[in-house]
Amino acid sequence: MPIIEFLKGLNILDPKRVKITFDEQENTLKINVDGRILSGLIPAKPFPITYPEFVIFRDSSGVDVCIIRDYRELDEESKRSLQKVLDKIYFIPKIQRIMSIETSGDEFLWDVLTDKGPRVFRTRGRMSVILMGKRVVITDINDNVYEIEDLSLLDPKSLSELEATI
Amino acid sequence: MQIPEKVMDLLNSLLLNDERIIYSVSGDIDENSNFGERWLFLTNKRVIILSPTTKSVVQFQLNDLRSAFIKDYIGNSELFFETTHGLKSAMRFSRERLEDLYNAAKLIDKFAKREIDPEEVDSEILETFLPKKNNVKKTQAFFWLISFLKPHIHYIILAVILSLSITALSLTPPYLMKILLDEVFTNRNLEMLTYVVIAFIVVYALNAILGAAQNYTLSYLGQKIIYGIRVKIYEHLQSLSLGFYDKMSSGRIMTRITDDVGRVQWFLTWGTQTLIISLLQIIGIGVIIFSMNSYLALFALLPIPIIVVGIPLFRKRAHKAYHKTWRRWADVSSLLWDTIPGIIIVKAFTQEKFELKRFIERMTNLVRANLRVTLLHIKFFPLLSFSISTGTAIVWWIGGQKVLEGQITFGSLVAFISYMSMFYGPIQTISNLFEPLQSSITSSERILEIMQIEPEIKDAPDAIEFPFKGAITFRNVSFGYNPYIPVLNNINLEIKPGEKIGIVGPSGSGKTTLTKLLMRFYDPTEGAIYIDGVDLKKIKVRCLRSQIGLILQDPLLFYGSIAYNIAYGKQNATPEEIIAAAKAANLHEFVMSQPLAYDTNVGDRGWRLSGGERQRVAIARAIITEPKILILDEATSSVDTLTEKKIQEAMDNLVKGRTTIIIAHRLSTLQNVDRIVVMDKGRIVEVGTHEELMRAGGLYSQLYKAQFAEETLINTLQR
């Protein structure tokens, strides 16, 4: 079967024609597409690292309902409603400063300051730190995820600490 | 091939008037089964086989021949002719000659079967039967290496200037010492002492700075060169055909890029520099000591023969000894590699004591080998330093007398002895350089050996590109990985666009080989394959392979995310295409259950995923490229029944509207195919639908019944 058949089934929505509201009671999202209401939706990011703006909306049983390719193109209110839910599901603190990275055995011990406060964590193995252009995504030994949004914005001390170890 | 004169003489005495030689090939076992020269000549009338040493001649009239073939044994092979008088052995030869004789047999066979007329054979026909020429050009490894230095000539000049400066600087301290002893201390000259000390500091400071600069320049140069060589080799490796990878193990190829390139780098940078510096030092110091006192200098030369002869001798022995320790260490580590991952077997068979005993044995051997190396060092180096010290003592003795006699100053003697000790260093260095120099040249030869191999599968100049409809034709296709051991024999098969074909047969029947030829990983030795009526050889390789999807039994994934692996065949795939492909492959739900979803890393070769998950990633990877033709090679055989259902659904999505070739061991997975092709020993033995083949009662029905019985038994046991 040609892939186009499956592409059609994805139900990709135009963010300009969509209104998203947060349903406090259900703790889910409601999407209004040209007057048609899709409710009870939970967002998920299929590419939390490479395309964090890409969102799939799924119903309570985990069935995909629709997709928004770039949720940043939503109107402000919709974006806020969505962001609120996403922030809870995807707790990815942004590293703002690196105090130290120490090596012990095959692990790294990171002491960092994030936008969610100071944090000490351990990473192991080369797949724990993924470099993507200027972004760095770090997964610790408990599968918590941290992110350095832009290496070029890091202060020189943090950068040299990072470069010396990674 | 050059035919020796005595062979020509013997042959000429046998040739008839209108007889001409068409083809010749030599063997290496004579008619008495001993190693010896033997020649086979094919003329327009006969096959003449003669031994120049024993003068034995065997002849076969072409008219009497029915076929020619080779039987391959252990350590030797035999050429047979089927004649009107029965089967005749023509000649034997070692396997070294196998390929050439195989070509000869093929040509004679064509003559025997009247497919080629001996009177009309031309050079174009003969070309295909001629012994393969070795396509390795004997370019000097050295010049090839030098070509990598050329772009960095300015760095090389800088490095040489730095080296010269360092050498010159290193010659000054003994001279300063002479001034110190003769001028400063003798005349109690405090002012001069200050100057000399400052000069010392300046010399040492400059030495440190220039040393650092030289170090950086050489490392930079080394990295640049190694980068160039490695990229060149890797690029070349990517262009080579699968045939190359069959002949050479992955380990050996990787060693070329890692170890061999490393050794070459060392030679190109540090090796040549050390050589130049040492030579300059020897010349510089030699000139100084001879101009200071040529009489004393002659005594200084005394230990040199011991250094020059002794060090290479020592290195030769040490090389063997080190090699031995390396092998002993490999013994230990192979035991560890066996027993630690395989500890469950050791424990299950309660062989812990046995394994410990084996380990102790190997460790004892390792310790012994290491001690041998130590002993070798102990035997040689004290002797070397003793002979050098003796030389110095002699100079002290003779020079001391000269100082006492007032012929030279004490400062001159001290300076002389300092220079003398500096003289032996570079001689030792050069003696030490011989072996690594040799090994880096060997390494560069090994690298060149790969670089000069040409890809066997290349685009023809007139190769075309077009979108496939999906019709496949195999016409008289024969093939062997070794040309003399055929794996496929005269395959003829027509597949319509969109048709689903199952291929079954015992292992080794040539099923996978057939698909490898379709992907053009290899070219058939005879016959041709067509897609939509166009010969594969006339289709651009890129166009061909990008329209064929291949899914193997144990799909190989690469280190990276699931998304990366799905999009491997279509690097510019959009995120929604990746999701669509994963949905088609029944993989999406699994991926979304992972914390990083499509960004989840699959680990090296995909080890973090189960067999079934890997298989579905492979299906998604094939779907995303929208291939017109699909090859599924035992794609469901390594997964359990439950996952197989998911895979089967994925497969159903995949095959819709595509020409599909399914190789299956489990015949029950072939229920939805249009036709089944049954292969045995490299031939197609049956073609038809399941029902037709069952009715025919041939190999397929036997295989099916045997498997059905087996599966019923397993099911009963499982219940």
What CA–CA distance (Å, rounded) separates B66 from B62? Answer: 9
Name the minimum distance, in Å, from the CA of B331 to any CA of chain A: 27
What CA–CA distance (Å, rounded) separates B69 from B82? Answer: 8
pLDDT band at B529 (very low <50, low <70, confident <90, very high): very high
- Residue B579: the pLDDT is 92
Three-class secondary structure assignment of B199-248: HHHHHHHHHHHHHHHHHHHHHHHHHHHHHHHHHHHHHHHHHCCHHHHHHC
Name the 3-class secondary structure at B447. helix
Average pLDDT over residues B575-592: 89
Cβ–Cβ gap A12/B576 under 8 Å: yes
Gyration radius from chain A CA atoms:
19
Q: Is B592 on the interface with A (CB under 8 A)?
A: yes
Please report where in the chains the tokens 């001993």 appear, as a residue. Answer: B34
What CA–CA distance (Å, rounded) separates B91 from B31? Answer: 7
Q: Which strands make up the sheet holding A117-124, listed edge to edge?
A: A95-104, A107-114, A117-124
Q: Answer yes or no: is pLDDT of B137 > 80.
A: no
- B493 belongs to a structural domain: yes
Q: Write out pLDDT tens, residues B162-190.
A: 988 988 888 888 888 888 888 888 888 88
Contacts of B336 (CB under 8 A, 6+ apart): none
Do B139 and B272 belong to one domain?
yes
pLDDT band at B146 (very low <50, low <70, confident <90, very high): confident
What CA–CA distance (Å, rounded) separates B676 from B689? Answer: 6
Longest dimension (CA), chain A: 59
Contacts of B573 (CB under 8 A, 6+ apart): B566, B567, B581, B624
Letter for the amino acid at A128? S
pLDDT band at B136 (very low <50, low <70, confident <90, very high): very low
Contact B680, B508 (CB under 8 A): no
What CA–CA distance (Å, rounded) separates B230 from B672? Answer: 48
- Residue B648: the pLDDT is 74
User: Which residue, B58, B92, B127, sits at the end of a domain?
Assistant: B127
Contacts of A12 in chain B (CB under 8 A): 576
Average pLDDT over residues B522-550: 89
Q: Is B10 on the interface with A (CB under 8 A)?
A: no
What CA–CA distance (Å, rounded) separates B339 from B358? Answer: 11
Pull the structure tokens for residue B389. 């010290």
Count of domains observed in chain B: 4
Could you tell me the pTM of the whole model? Answer: 0.70
Q: On the CB side of B576, how many CA atoms lie within 13 Å of its CA?
A: 21
What CA–CA distance (Å, rounded) separates B690 from B667? Answer: 10
Contacts of A44 in chain B (CB under 8 A): 592, 597
Query: C-alpha dihedral over A17, A22, A27, A33, to 10 degrees?
Result: -20
Higher local confidence (pLDDT), B32 or B252: B32
Do B19 and B107 belong to one domain?
yes
pLDDT band at B206 (very low <50, low <70, confident <90, very high): very high
- Residue B715: the pLDDT is 67
- B645 belongs to a structural domain: no
What CA–CA distance (Å, rounded) separates A43 from A32? Answer: 15
Do B140 and B277 belong to one domain?
yes
Please report where in the chains the tokens 């020649």 appear, as a residue. Answer: B39
Q: Which strands make up the sheet holding A28-33, listed edge to edge?
A: A12-13, A64-68, A55-58, A36-44, A28-33, A18-23
Neighbours of B113 (CB within 10 A): 12
What CA–CA distance (Å, rounded) separates B41 from B26? Answer: 9
Contacts of A62 in chain B (CB under 8 A): 589, 592
Q: Answer yes or no: is pLDDT of B515 > 50.
A: yes
* C-alpha to C-alpha distances, B506 to B208, B671, B696, B707, B709, nearest whole angstrom: 72, 19, 18, 12, 17
Neighbours of B202 (CB within 10 A): 12
Three-class secondary structure assignment of B316-367: HHHHHHHHHHHHHHHHHHHHHHHHCCCHHHHHHCCCHHHHHHHHHHHHHHHH
Cβ–Cβ gap A46/B601 under 8 Å: no
Q: Write out pLDDT tens, residues B634-656.
A: 776 655 555 667 777 777 777 77
Contacts of A67 in chain B (CB under 8 A): 576, 579
pLDDT band at B718 (very low <50, low <70, confident <90, very high): low
Please report where in the chains the tokens 């006699």 appear, as a residue. Answer: B405
Cβ–Cβ gap B592/A62 under 8 Å: yes
Backbone φ/ψ region at B682: left (φ over 0), alpha (ψ -120 to 50), beta: left
Q: What residue segments make up the domains of chain A, in order of their start?
A: 3-89, 95-165
Pull the structure tokens for residue B151. 């772009």
Name the minimum distance, in Å, from the CA of A127 to any CA of chain B: 7
Query: C-alpha dihedral over A31, A34, A35, A37, to 10 degrees?
Result: -30
Cβ–Cβ gap B653/A1 under 8 Å: yes
Q: Is B591 on the interface with A (CB under 8 A)?
A: yes
Please report where in the chains the tokens 């300051």 appear, as a residue. Answer: A113
Of B561, B599, B623, the CB nearest to A3: B623
Q: What are phi and psi of A112, to 5 degrees?
A: -135, 165
- Residue B1: the pLDDT is 63
Pull the structure tokens for residue B390. 């003796």
Interface predicted TM-score of the whole assembly (ipTM), two decimals: 0.88
Residues of chain B above pLDDT 70, percent: 95
Name the 3-class secondary structure at B626. coil
Q: Over chain B, what is the mean pLDDT? A: 85
What CA–CA distance (Å, rounded) separates B111 from B121? Answer: 10
Letter for the amino acid at B102? Y
Name the 3-class secondary structure at A74. coil
Residue of chain B whose alpha carbon sits nearest to that of A57: B592
Do B100 and B140 belong to one domain?
no
Of A3, A7, A47, the CB nearest to B599: A47
Q: Residue A40 is inside which H or E element, if any?
A: strand A36-44
Give the CATH number of the domain where residue B54 resides.
Answer: 2.30.29.30
Do B23 and B141 belong to one domain?
no
Letter for the amino acid at B272? T
Contact A17, A33 (CB under 8 A): yes
Contact B90, B80 (CB under 8 A): yes
Contact B260, B447 (CB under 8 A): yes
DSSP per-residue codes, B288-299? HHHHH-HHHHHH
Query: C-alpha dihedral over A38, A41, A47, A51, to 10 degrees?
Result: 50
Pull the structure tokens for residue B422. 């500096």
Measure CA B78 to chain center.
31
Low-confidence ranges of chain A (pLDDT < 50): none
Contacts of A50 in chain B (CB under 8 A): 561, 563, 575, 598-599
Contacts of A64 in chain B (CB under 8 A): 588
Contacts of B501 (CB under 8 A, 6+ apart): B495, B660, B661, B662, B673, B674, B675, B676, B677
- Residue B640: the pLDDT is 56
What CA–CA distance (Å, rounded) separates B429 from B418? Answer: 18
Q: What are phi and psi of B57, to 5 degrees?
A: -130, 130
- B577 belongs to a structural domain: no
Q: Answer yes or no: is pLDDT of B247 > 90.
A: no
Cβ–Cβ gap B657/A1 under 8 Å: yes
Letter for the amino acid at B38? R
Do B341 and B474 belong to one domain?
no
What CA–CA distance (Å, rounded) separates B688 from B686? Answer: 7
Cβ–Cβ gap B624/A3 under 8 Å: yes
- The range of the structural domain enclosing residue B246 comes to 135-293+432-456
Residues of chain B above pLDDT 90, percent: 16
Measure CA B663 to chain center.
30
Q: Answer yes or no: is pLDDT of B138 > 50.
A: no
Name the minimum distance, in Å, from the CA of B245 to any CA of chain A: 29
Q: Answer yes or no: is pLDDT of B516 > 50.
A: yes
B247-251, B332-336, B638-642, range with greatest mean pLDDT: B332-336
What CA–CA distance (Å, rounded) separates B297 from B167? Answer: 20
What CA–CA distance (Å, rounded) separates B478 from B683? Answer: 9
Q: Is B597 on the interface with A (CB under 8 A)?
A: yes
CA triple A116-A118-A123, angle to 5 deg: 100
Query: In this structure, which long-range contacts are made by residues B541-545, counting pairs with CB atoms below 8 Å and at least 24 apart in sequence?
Result: B541/B457, B541/B458, B541/B459, B541/B463, B542/B465, B543/B464, B543/B465, B543/B466, B544/B519, B544/B520, B545/B519, B545/B520
Pull the structure tokens for residue B634. 């035992």
Contacts of B699 (CB under 8 A, 6+ apart): B505, B678, B680, B685, B686
pLDDT band at B135 (very low <50, low <70, confident <90, very high): very low
Do B18 and B167 belong to one domain?
no
